[in-house]
Amino acid sequence: MTDLKINKLTTPWQPAFPIPLPEYPRPQMVREKWQNLNGWWNYTIQTASLPQPAQFTGEILVPFAPESALSGVERVLQPDEKLWYQRQFEVEHAPDQLVMLHFGAVDFSCQVWVNGKLIGDHRGGYLPFSFDVTSALHAGSNELIVTVQDETEKALHQKGKQRLQPHGIWYTSVSGIWQTVWLEILPKKHIRSLKITPSIDTSTLELKVSVSNDALKNHCLVEAIASFEGKEVARISGDLKSKLVFHIPETRLWHPDHPYLYDLEVLLLEDEKLVDQVQSYFAMRKFGKAKDKNGLWRFTLNNEPIFQYGPLDQGYFPDGLYTAPSEEAMLSDIEYIKKIGCNMIRKHVKVEPLRWYHACDKLGMIVWQDMPNGGRTTKDAVVLFTFTSGIHRFDQHRLQRFGRVDPHNREEFRAELQDMIETLYNSPCIAVWVPFNESWGQFHAIRIAESVKKLDPTRLVDHASGWFDQGGGDFQSRHVYVKPLSARIPDHRIMAVTEFGGYTLQVPDHVYTERKRFGYGHYLDAESLTTAYLDLLEKQVKPLIPKGLCVAIYTQLTDIETEINGYLTYDRRVEKMDAVILRQAHQRLISEL
């Protein structure tokens, strides 16, 4: 048993009671009939080989992981253990309706029972999944049991920065339910999913609607209505085999300076009778690349070059770990990034709840989305040799070095990467997919990037962020710490510094621990940190923009555990540098293009 008592930091926010995170969890496909199952559940942690416990140890606050303080447990789930959840619920539905049980994310593998019936299982810690539980329900109270196992770094699954023994840039592990659990009441003939693809060049929007088998058998029709600021701008209908393409007149383009969003209503009709409907939204925008007058490749938004500047954001909270204490806490991070004049975020080796992307859509924040890493991380000695020699490992062979020798492990990564892209495809804010970071579990990066492009040709790909560039993707993607930034020899790709800086300032009473600190340049007060930071931007970042630099991503938004290189302290209570000064500096950089 491992208890977590080192961390006493808290953010300014507290979960809502009795239901934490009560907001509707799927903003781009909203229905009226739903039920939030967050709150106090019963739990037990025991050896994995033991049967279901006769009694439960105590209560856990879902959706906070047991390792977090907000869960009420503060206990690390070990690889040889199983976490049992249990709660009762009631739900009312008509005989011709279905009840779907949705999980935002559960780390890592789980099984689900309703009233003693095994409903299904799921593997993978970052993406939503659902089960039809209708057949297991009965009138009155129903029992829901969920069991979870999580090996963290003892296995090669996707795990991001999680570690059983956190240190340096590796943080406390997260297990079990860490996003909202909810029920949804559906008609048997219903809309399953939407795929929304805008084209600003033709002022059109393509909509693909997936429906249930019952709807297909009965030859239902689809009608969709697009509106802007409450006024209808387009309407289209067709059968389920038709491609629905809207013409969007007088198109209002999404941009960080004016994040215009359109509302979208999708109706499912049978014999002109409404059988299902969902509310959604979309944006008209285009990400791409083009050469400037000097022949340098530039990142473009809506066919215009744009310089992107913003922080690495790893989405950790001292009290909730992977889970923000509240919607307000989640929004606060994005609003702060906006306040200091940034126009982008790199979401680092983590997938957030869908409401996070919705907030970025509304606030006008461009997102680079990492795939959570699995496999094996590279040893420090190899990293040092790479930096000093300039020799990069190839990822086509000797895959044991990357923890990817097992073909089943590689296929798991590909499947989860595809699921991530399909899950987040409709989010207007996402501009770039990042399959690999710093060789952690990297393999066949060029082929992976090509497969991502086929799956989603509307966005760019950073095939290998940082160390072991294979020459593919859309970016020369560099991580530079300690040594000065420098230009690269131009090729067919965009120049991007996708990690740099990492300057530290330790703020007393606002650190995870006084004994350890990690970062790439240590400063004793806010004044010296600010001076060094502004010099970094003015003397190193700015001169590279005329040479082709289009993206600079600073490490990082907040301190995390022993890593103290954030704009904000880990508890979000202290801004280490003046926000007005930062905004002015960042806006000067962005205005260079």
| pLDDT the model gives residue 401 | 87
| pLDDT the model gives residue 1 | 43
Cβ contact 506:565 at 8 Å: no
Mean pLDDT for the stretch of residues 265-273: 94
**What 3 state SS string does 284-336 have?**
ECCEEEEECCCCCEEEEECCEECCEEEEEECCCECCCECCCCCHHHHHHHHHH
Residues 6+ apart with CB under 8 A from 121: 109, 110, 111, 112
Here the tokens at position 108 are 């890592």
Count CA within 13 A, CB hemisphere, residue 559: 29
Residue 178 has pLDDT above 90, yes or no: yes
| pLDDT the model gives residue 538 | 97
Residue 339 has pLDDT above 60, yes or no: yes
Count CA within 13 A, CB hemisphere, residue 77: 30
CA–CA separation, 343 and 363 (whole Å): 10
CA–CA separation, 459 and 478 (whole Å): 20
Top-confidence residue, 384 or 435: 435
Lowest mean pLDDT among 166-175, 234-243, 347-356, 542-551: 234-243
Lowest mean pLDDT among 23-32, 188-197, 387-396: 387-396
pLDDT band at 219 (very low <50, low <70, confident <90, very high): confident
Cβ contact 179:25 at 8 Å: yes
CA–CA separation, 530 and 567 (whole Å): 10
DSSP state of 64: S
- Rounded to 5°, the CA angle 335-348-459 comes to 85
| Residue 314: cis peptide before it, omega within 30 degrees of 0 | no
DSSP state of 352: -
- How many angstroms from the chain centroid is the CA of residue 156? 20
CA–CA separation, 323 and 329 (whole Å): 10
Mean pLDDT for the stretch of residues 297-326: 98
Give the burial class of 525: count Cβ atoms within 10 A of its Cβ; 0-12 exposed, 13-18 middle, 19 or more buried.
Answer: exposed
Q: Which SS3 state, helix, strand or coil, does residue 168 take?
A: coil
H-state helical runs in 183-257: 213-217
Query: Mean pLDDT score of the chain, rounded to an integer?
Result: 94
Ordered structural domains, the chain, with CATH: 31-187 (2.60.120.260), 191-282 (2.60.40.10)
Residues 6+ apart with CB under 8 A from 461: 432, 433, 434, 435, 449, 452, 453, 473, 474, 475
CA distances, 562 to each of 18, 393, 515, 570 (Å): 33, 30, 9, 10
Neighbours of 330 (CB within 10 A): 23
Residue 389 has pLDDT above 60, yes or no: no
Residue 197 has pLDDT above 70, yes or no: yes
Percent above pLDDT 70 for the chain? 96
| pLDDT the model gives residue 487 | 85
pTM of this structure: 0.96
CA–CA separation, 144 and 146 (whole Å): 7
Lowest mean pLDDT among 148-152, 281-285, 399-403: 399-403
Q: What is the pLDDT of residues 142-176, one digit of tens each?
A: 999 999 999 998 999 999 999 999 999 999 999 99
Q: Strand order of the sheet with strand 494-501? A: 460-461, 430-434, 366-370, 344-347, 308-313, 549-555, 494-501, 475-480
Q: What is the pLDDT of residues 81-130, one digit of tens each?
A: 999 999 999 999 999 999 999 999 999 999 999 999 999 999 999 999 99
Q: What is the pLDDT of residues 522-558, one digit of tens each?
A: 999 999 999 999 999 999 999 999 999 999 999 999 9
Residue 5 has pLDDT above 60, yes or no: no
| pLDDT the model gives residue 241 | 81
pLDDT band at 464 (very low <50, low <70, confident <90, very high): very high
**Ramachandran area for residue 502 (φ above 0: left; ψ -120 to 50: alpha; else beta):** left
H-state helical runs in 456-525: none
Give the burial class of 333: count Cβ atoms within 10 A of its Cβ; 0-12 exposed, 13-18 middle, 19 or more buried.
Answer: buried
| pLDDT the model gives residue 517 | 87
